[in-house]
């Protein structure tokens, strides 16, 4: 790989940078974004996605026929860098963009692509992912939600849990059991479920941070048209795995780490350790440099995954390396900041005494989610061992 930017890539960067300078996110201040109410945060992300979409800046990696720009690896990289540089807010439909759209492009019928894909980038339809159940997380294939054949429809009964954004979603990618007698990986089907259907109940779960961004979802005699079956009936596991590969290949995590390292670097300039600025302390400097090196290594690993995808291959198990290393690095960075802050680390978000607006306390409360959501670290280690390193099962 040639790491220099070509003149065309520099032109692309300039075009995006100029656009971002002229079109900042409305009502958005990165310094206070995490203090404001969850609803306000959602509205900012929603408006931001609409604004980006209006100018063709959402899902740039998607093919042009689906509203993307067919962006090259380097353009995607530049995009992430520029978004991180301005500390841009997230988007309102992240699962739609990174999971649902790419999965439908790969597995969907022409009718499904035409019906569902265009409304994802525009945020006209928001999506959630109905995989996990109270007894089925890591061992997803053991799930019990049933979809029974009823003429033109399936009738769905069961419960999902930890369903992020279900309280805002219009549609759900749902994995349900259509053949209870088949071996557990073989009797599943992948359905697109209208969250406004009769029989769907969403109950938000409140997190330690006070937010409630994920939910329990109950399905009681919910009718789902057979036209919304993705892939073949009873072959839903293959489709579900494709979605998970896109989830784990999500390269964006690295770009969350970079702004966080910037924030950490700013923070150590203001703090004192052993009577001197923390930024002058050799141990602190060494640790911050080590974080920088790890982030760079993750970035280069991510380029390998993107190369695979641009060759038209669905992402492979290598994405688990980024997921594992990125999420664990995130936790170590936050814990390091908490140690440096000492007693001030206990100041909650928005408290007057809280350094950096209590940002680090909030991140510490939320950091564990990354090693659980999308597959736990233990499961990622199993995948890397078995499917990347080809070690025998222990």
Q: Which of 82, 213, 247, 258 is catalytic?
A: 247
SS3 70: coil
- Taking the complex as a whole, the smallest distance from the CB of residue 16 to ligand FAD amounts, in Å, to 29
Which residues contact ligand FAD (rule: CB under 6 A)?
128-132, 137-138, 162-164, 214, 369, 372-376, 378-379, 382
- Taking the complex as a whole, the smallest distance from the CB of residue 350 to ligand FAD amounts, in Å, to 22
- Within 10 angstroms of residue 75's Cβ, the number of other Cβ atoms is 18
Q: Does the annotation mark 213 as catalytic?
A: no
The answer to whether 255 touches 295, Cβ cutoff 8 Å, is no
Q: Which of 196, 197, 203 lies closest to 222 in space, CA to CA?
A: 197
**1 to each of 72, 251, 300, how far by Cα in Å?**
13, 17, 10
259/366 with CB nearer ligand FAD = 366
Report the C-alpha gap between 190 and 176 in whole angstroms. Answer: 7
338/372 with CB nearer ligand FAD = 372
Contacts 24+ apart (CB under 8 A), 116-119: 116/171, 116/192, 117/66, 117/67, 118/66, 118/67
Write out the H or E segment, with its range, that includes residue 203. Answer: strand 200-205
- Within 10 angstroms of residue 289's Cβ, the number of other Cβ atoms is 10
- Taking the complex as a whole, the smallest distance from the CB of residue 204 to ligand FAD amounts, in Å, to 13
Q: Which of 137, 230, 122 lies closest to 170 in space, CA to CA?
A: 122
Report the C-alpha gap between 216 and 208 in whole angstroms. Answer: 16
49/215 with CB nearer ligand FAD = 215
The answer to whether 19 touches 57, Cβ cutoff 8 Å, is yes
Q: Which residue is nearest to ligand FAD (CB)?
A: 137
Beta-sheet pairing, 127-130 with 153-164: unpaired
341/379 with CB nearer ligand FAD = 379
Structure-token match 């990696």, residue found = 61
285/381 with CB nearer ligand FAD = 381
Residue 123 structure tokens: 């945020």
161/264 with CB nearer ligand FAD = 161
DSSP secondary-structure letter at 235? B
129/250 with CB nearer ligand FAD = 129
- Taking the complex as a whole, the smallest distance from the CB of residue 162 to ligand FAD amounts, in Å, to 3
- Taking the complex as a whole, the smallest distance from the CB of residue 87 to ligand FAD amounts, in Å, to 22
DSSP secondary-structure letter at 25? P
- Taking the complex as a whole, the smallest distance from the CB of residue 161 to ligand FAD amounts, in Å, to 7
- Taking the complex as a whole, the smallest distance from the CB of residue 137 to ligand FAD amounts, in Å, to 2
Task: Provide the annotated active-site residues.
Answer: 247
């Amino acid at each position: 790989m040639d790491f220099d930017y070509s003149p065309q890539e520099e032109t692309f960067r300039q075009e995006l940078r100029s656009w971002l300078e002229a079109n900042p996110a409305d009502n958005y201040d990165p310094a206070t974004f995490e203090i404001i109410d969850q609803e306000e945060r959602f509205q900012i992300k929603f408006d931001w996605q609409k604004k980006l979409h209006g100018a063709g800046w959402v899902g740039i990696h998607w093919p042009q026929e689906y509203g993307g720009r067919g962006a090259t690896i380097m353009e995607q990289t530049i995009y992430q860098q520029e978004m991180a540089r301005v500390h841009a807010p997230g988007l309102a439909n992240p699962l739609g963009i990174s999971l649902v759209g790419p999965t439908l492009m790969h597995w969907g019928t022409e009718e499904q692509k035409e019906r569902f894909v265009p409304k994802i980038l525009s945020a006209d339809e928001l999506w959630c992912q109905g995989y996990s159940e109270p007894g089925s997380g890591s061992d997803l294939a053991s799930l019990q939600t049933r979809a029974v054949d009823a003429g033109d429809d399936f009738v769905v009964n069961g419960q999902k849990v930890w369903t992020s954004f279900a309280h805002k979603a219009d549609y759900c990618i749902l994995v349900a059991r259509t053949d209870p007698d088949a071996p557990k990986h073989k009797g599943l089907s992948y359905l697109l479920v209208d969250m406004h259907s009769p029989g769907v109940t969403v109950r938000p779960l409140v997190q330690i941070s006070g937010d409630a961004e994920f939910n329990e979802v109950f399905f009681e005699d919910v009718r789902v048209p057979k036209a919304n079956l993705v892939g073949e009936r009873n072959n839903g596991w293959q489709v579900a795995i494709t979605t998970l590969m896109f989830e784990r290949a999500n390269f964006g995590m690295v770009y969350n780490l970079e702004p966080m390292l910037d924030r950490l670097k700013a923070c150590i300039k203001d703090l004192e350790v052993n009577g001197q600025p923390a930024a002058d302390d050799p141990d602190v400097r060494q640790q911050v440099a080590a974080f920088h090196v790890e982030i760079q290594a993750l970035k280069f690993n991510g380029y390998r995954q993107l190369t695979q995808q641009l060759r038209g291959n669905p992402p492979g198990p290598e994405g688990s390396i980024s997921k594992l290393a990125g999420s664990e690095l995130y936790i170590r960075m936050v814990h390091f900041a908490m140690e440096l802050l000492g007693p001030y680390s206990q100041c909650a978000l928005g408290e007057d005494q809280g350094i950096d607006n209590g940002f680090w306390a909030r991140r510490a409360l939320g950091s564990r989610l990354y090693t659980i959501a999308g597959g736990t670290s233990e499961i990622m280690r199993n995948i890397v061992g078995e499917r990347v390193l080809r070690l025998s099962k222990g």
